[in-house]
Amino acid sequence: MFRYAIRRLLFAIPTLLVISFIIFALLDLAPSDPTAQLPLTIPEEVREMIKLSLGLGEPFHIRYLRWLEQFLVNEPLNLIEQFWGIEIGNSEDRLRVRSWSTRAPVVDLIAARLPQTLSVVGVSYIVAILIAVPIGVISAYKQYSIFDQVGTFISMIGFSVPTFFTGTVMIVIFSVVLGWLPSIYDTTLEVRDYDSFVAQFKQMIMPVMVLGLFNAAQLSRFMRSSMLDNLNQEYVRTARSKGMGEPVVILIHVLRNSMIPVVTVIALGLPTTFAGAIITEQIFRINGVGQLLIGAIEGADIPTVQTVTFIFAVLIVVFNLIADLLYGMLDPRIRYD
C-alpha cells in the first residue's frame, strides 16, 4: 500500500499542475482591473504604476510561475520556519501572492479564515455520517417498512431542498419566532468559560445542522443501497447458517463490505461540502473561507479567487487518494502491490 500511495502522489503532481494552469489561465484572462475600486480622481499614470507593482506588467508565463512558486516553495518554507523555528534564507525576500483589495498575502488571509470554516464543515460532516449510517442500515434491514418509507421521504426532501432555503427557514423559526438561537455567527467569540462555550455551541447549531442534514440525506441513500446489495449475498446466508446472531451478521460482515462504496461518497463529499459551505457562510455571516471567496469575486480580487479555487482542487485530489487507501483497509481482497 505504501508503494501505491507513492505512485498516486507522483501521479497527482502533474494533475495538480494542469489544474493550476487552467485555473490561473481562465481567471487571469478574465476582464478585471485591480484599480477599478479606486477613486476616479487618481491619475491614469498612478493606476499604471499600481498595476506594475502587482506584477501585471510581466508576461503570462512569468506571472503563472510566480503564482505557482508560493505553493511549491515559499509557503512550505514559511510553514517550516513557523512551526519548527528553522530559518531558511531571508523570508522577507520571498515572493508572496497578495490580494488586490487588502494587499495582504492571500495564504495568510485563508489561514485566518480557515478555522471558522473547518469548525463548521468538520462538525457538520461528522454529524451527517452519524445520522446517515444508522438510518441507511436500518432502512435496508427493514426494507419497505414504515421507518424505511419515512426515511426515504425525508431524505428526498433533504437532498432536494437547497441549503440557502433551509438556512433561512431555520433563522426565521429558531431566531426570529422562538428566539432560541443567534442568527449571526460571531467569529470573534473566544471560548474561555462555560458561558462562552454555551454561546459557541448555540451559534454552531443552525449552520452545522443545515450542512449536516443536507449531506446526511445523500449519504443515507447510498448506505441503504449498498446494504441492500450485500444483504442478499451468499456469505450472509452462510454466516446465518453457522448460527451467528443478526447483530454480528449485520454490523460486522454486511456493514464492513457495504462501507466500501460509501467511503468514496464520504471522501469525495468532504471537498464538496467545503464548496457548499460558501452559501451557508453567507446566510449565517460566518467569516470563513467561503465568505472570503464571495468577497473576492465581488471585488474582482483575482489572486484570491485563484488561490482559494486551487485549494479546493487540491482537497479533491487528496481525498480521492484517501478513499483509495481506505478501500484496502475495509476489503482485504484489495491489494495494491
For range 5-9, the mean pLDDT: 75
Ordered structural domains, the chain, with CATH: 20-93 (no CATH), 107-330 (1.10.3720.10)
Look at residue 70 in the predicted model and tell me its pLDDT: 74
> Which of 16-30, 117-131, 273-287 is the least confident region?
273-287
pLDDT at 221 over 80: yes
Look at residue 89 in the predicted model and tell me its pLDDT: 58
Question: How far apart are the C-alpha atoms of 99 and 16, rounded to whole Å?
Answer: 22
pTM for the model = 0.74
Cell of 151: 426515511
- What are 98-108's pLDDT values in tens digits? 777 777 777 77
Contacts of 137 (CB under 8 A, 6+ apart): 223, 224, 227, 250, 255, 258
Question: How far apart are the C-alpha atoms of 286 and 116, rounded to whole Å?
Answer: 7
What are the φ and ψ backbone dihedral angles of 273, each rounded to 5 degrees? -65, -35
Buried b (16+ CB within 10 A) or exposed e, 1-21: eeeeeeebeeebeeebeebbe
Look at residue 333 in the predicted model and tell me its pLDDT: 60
Look at residue 188 in the predicted model and tell me its pLDDT: 75
- What are 30-61's pLDDT values in tens digits? 776 666 666 666 777 777 776 776 666 677 78
- What are 167-183's pLDDT values in tens digits? 888 888 888 888 888 87
